[in-house]
Amino acid sequence: MDKGFSPVGLRVLVVDDDPTWLKILEKMLKKCSYEVTTCGLAREALRLLRERKDGFDIVISDVNMPDMDGFKLLEHVGLELDLPVIMMSVDGETKRVMKGVQHGACDYLLKPIRMKELKIIWQHVLRKKLQEVRDIEGCYEVGADWFTRNDEAHYLGGGEDVSFGKKRKDFEFEKKLLQDESDPSSSSKKARVVWSFELHQKFVNAVNQIGCDHKAGPKKILDLMNVPWLTRENVASHLQKYRLYLSRLEKGKELKCYSGGVRNMDSPPKDAEFSSGHQSPGKSSYVYSGGSSLVHKAETDPKQLASSSVSDPSSDVHMPPKGKKKRIEFEPPISSSVFDSLLPWSDVPDPLESKPQILFESSFLQQQPLLPSQSPYVVASAPTLMEQEMKPSYETCVNADEFLMPQNKNSTVINQDVSLSTPSAISCMKLQESSSNVNNDTESILRSLNWELPESHHSGFIDTDLDFSWLHGEHLLANTGLQNFQFQDYSSSSSLLSELPPHLWFGNDRLPEPDEYTLMVDHGLFIS
Amino acid sequence: MGKFMQGYLDEQFMELEELQDDANPNFVEEVAASYFKDSARLINNIDQALRRGPLDFNRLDSYMHQFKGSSTSIGASKVKTECTMFREYCRAGNAEGCLRTFQELKKEHATLRKKLEHYFQVQASDQLCVINQLQNMC
């Protein structure tokens, strides 16, 4: 049984000089609910493509065309139109396949082609779009355009596999998220910053320049970055996340949970050397302070947070200077009976918009504080760690990009979690279970997402190609609000994470707002 | 499909049958018709190429590549096997082998055609039977 999930109305151009195959492919693609145009000649195909710019989403072409070499066509399409192209052939010789790769094919399918291979071609379209979003600094249009254009293309939930099912309203919600993000005049309160690769690189450079100096505050970083439209608040919040990310890296692959309240209970508050990121032993780490300030983008002066102690003796250490008592009460003991302690979360004081961050891994809570000797700016080691964690890079940009990587390792976590609608021990356990299955193998990550992988013998290409780079796209999905676009079923409310128990957050005293959420997700900080 | 077709057609044929639906009730037959029309043309081309003096193996290989691709469309497994063999001989520059294999290929092709024609006829008459029965019932 095919677990189906195909965007309806994907516009496909099929090019093949074999009339029989053309007929068959047309039928198959129609069965996938795609919009099909067939063409028997390469030149004709090019003409069509040029005439109807933006008229197609993807091209599938046979390698052997009488009037033009299929690879030539591939080049033209790739260069002029920047559409994803899938090559087909009865011939699966490695060198031919490689030639396809070199000429920029997204995939190489062997004839006879199976339905399941065609059902997933939309992934190439999406991935390409996401790459575009990423490549354009601060530019939201592509993703939004694509989405808007595909307004009519509603997404079918497939088969009986609930994990692929996605309610229409959820899709609408994500679309709205994306549109909000892209529309500068939207009603979101704050202009959301998309931390693109380049922007983050600038950030990292600035941070490194300042060095492992606890005086590295957002203002300094901002000045160094020299990005006119960026605000101190933007930098501050990004800085928090970055520190979190680094601290997670320090911990290596150990799965821990950064649940703020726990540690707080156990250790008396001390001055959080917040900006330095150093922690004294036994103190709840800067992680939490970071978390708190993260959510105070507009309301809190990041500079103050950065440089001063965050502790508020009258309440929990994580309380930001604002002094609101929003700490989520936790009941010790924190142990393997993790879930017990997690349950009484209902006393979340603020009826804030519930967009919690999920920053934990399998063992939900952990008692030891972070290593005291941690420096937040271990930039040099960070990429290395990432490299170890990730498979050899499929794409060339691996520097700051890796900052965005952690997510894929634990994408199971976030997706599983998002599907929780009520806080419950079972949900938590599910989370734990899924996280413990996490490993660095991209394939298994995809599998754990119940994502059907393409049959390797037909398109061995796609395994390497799509698996890894798809995960690149994964965080970008988040970035564009499409994060769970084809993953779990959101049987809960349209608000993605509305019911996620706050104790699963990382110690925020306030739930982040939707745009913040997206920003956080963007940086893979949902997974620790 | 059963024993009648065994060995002559592979899973691809079944895939085609699965594609057949109310929108295209004669899909498989249409595909088969398309295949035989196209493959007849290709056979003709190859025939002619084989008659011309020294064999142009590259050209022949190219034709056969097309033929093979076409044959995969309906799952003509025996025909496909002959195609592969032919290409081997082409690469080896073995004219004799090419000619021999081509004869085999044509035979398999003709056999398949007959079988499929029969198959569709039976299907059609089955359908007629059903219709008759239904009519008789009224």
Average pLDDT, chain B: 91
Rounded to a whole number of angstroms, the distance from the CA of A112 to the nearest CA of chain B is 6
Probe site for chain B from A24, A109, A111, A117 (most B CB atoms < 10 A) = A24
Does residue B73 sit at the A interface (CB-CB below 8 Å)?
yes
> H or E stretch including A38?
strand A35-39
User: How many whole angstroms separate alpha carbon A202 and alpha carbon A519?
Assistant: 17
Where do the H-state alpha helices sit in A183-285?
197-210, 218-225, 232-250, 260-266
Among the partner-chain residues B27, B35, B70, the one whose CB lies closest to the CB of A27 is: B27
How many helices (H) does chain A have, and how many strands (E)? 23, 5
Chain B contact set for A17 (CB, 8 A): 66
pLDDT along chain A (528 residues), means of 10: 67 95 96 94 92 90 88 85 90 83 88 92 87 65 48 40 39 46 47 73 85 74 86 85 76 50 41 39 38 39 42 40 41 41 41 40 40 40 41 39 41 38 42 41 41 39 40 41 38 41 43 48 46
Provide the 8-state DSSP code for B76.
Answer: B
User: How many whole angstroms separate alpha carbon A513 and alpha carbon A189?
Assistant: 9
pLDDT value for A69:
85
pLDDT value for A213:
57
User: How many whole angstroms separate alpha carbon A370 and alpha carbon A259?
Assistant: 12
Chain A contact set for B65 (CB, 8 A): 64, 90-91
Residue A334, token pair as written in the block: 């924190």
Does residue B42 sit at the A interface (CB-CB below 8 Å)?
no
Backbone angles phi, psi at A522, to 5 degrees: -50, -40
> H or E stretch including B126?
helix B95-137
Does residue B27 sit at the A interface (CB-CB below 8 Å)?
yes
Residue A441, token pair as written in the block: 């193998």
Among the partner-chain residues A27, A89, A112, the one whose CB lies closest to the CB of B75 is: A112
User: How many whole angstroms separate alpha carbon A215 and alpha carbon B47?
Assistant: 83
pLDDT value for B36:
96
pLDDT value for A377:
39
Angle, helices B27-51 vs B95-137, to 10°: value is 160
CA angle (A198 as vertex; A193, A200 as ends), nearest 5: 60
Q: Closest Cα partner for A302 from A207, A205, A220? A: A220
Size of interface A-B (CB pairs under 8 A): 52
pLDDT value for A254:
53
Provide the 8-state DSSP code for A189.
Answer: S
A19 contacts B19? CB cut-off 8 A = no
Residue A155 forms beta bridges with which residues?
A: A7
Residue with tokens 């924190």: A334
pLDDT value for A87:
93
Rounded to a whole number of angstroms, the distance from the CA of B103 to the nearest CA of chain A is 22
Query: pLDDT higher for A506 or B138?
Result: B138
A90 contacts B68? CB cut-off 8 A = yes
B72 contacts A112? CB cut-off 8 A = yes
Q: Please tell me whether the peptide bond between A269 and the residue prior to it is cis, using omega within 30 degrees of 0.
A: no
User: How many whole angstroms separate alpha carbon B31 and alpha carbon A19?
Assistant: 9
Q: How confident is the model at residue B2 (pLDDT cuts 50, 70, 90)?
A: low
Q: State pLDDT tens for residues B77-133.
A: 999 999 999 999 999 999 999 999 999 999 999 999 999 999 999 888 888 888 888
Does residue B40 sit at the A interface (CB-CB below 8 Å)?
no
Q: State pLDDT tens for residues A79-108.
A: 788 889 999 999 888 888 888 888 888 899
> H or E stretch including A85?
strand A85-89
Chain B contact set for A64 (CB, 8 A): 62, 65-66, 69
Q: State pLDDT tens for residues A275-311.
A: 343 434 444 333 333 333 333 433 444 444 444 443 3
Query: What was the ipTM of the complex prediction?
Result: 0.93
User: How many whole angstroms separate alpha carbon A370 and alpha carbon A284?
Assistant: 8
Alpha-carbon torsion, ordered A381, A385, A387, A389, to 10 deg: -170
User: How many whole angstroms separate alpha carbon A49 and alpha carbon A54?
Assistant: 8
Among the partner-chain residues A24, A31, A114, the one whose CB lies closest to the CB of B73 is: A24
Angle, helices A197-210 vs A218-225, to 10°: value is 120
User: How many whole angstroms separate alpha carbon A278 and alpha carbon A213?
Assistant: 10
Does residue B17 sit at the A interface (CB-CB below 8 Å)?
no
Q: Closest Cα partner for A163 from A434, A406, A509, A377? A: A434
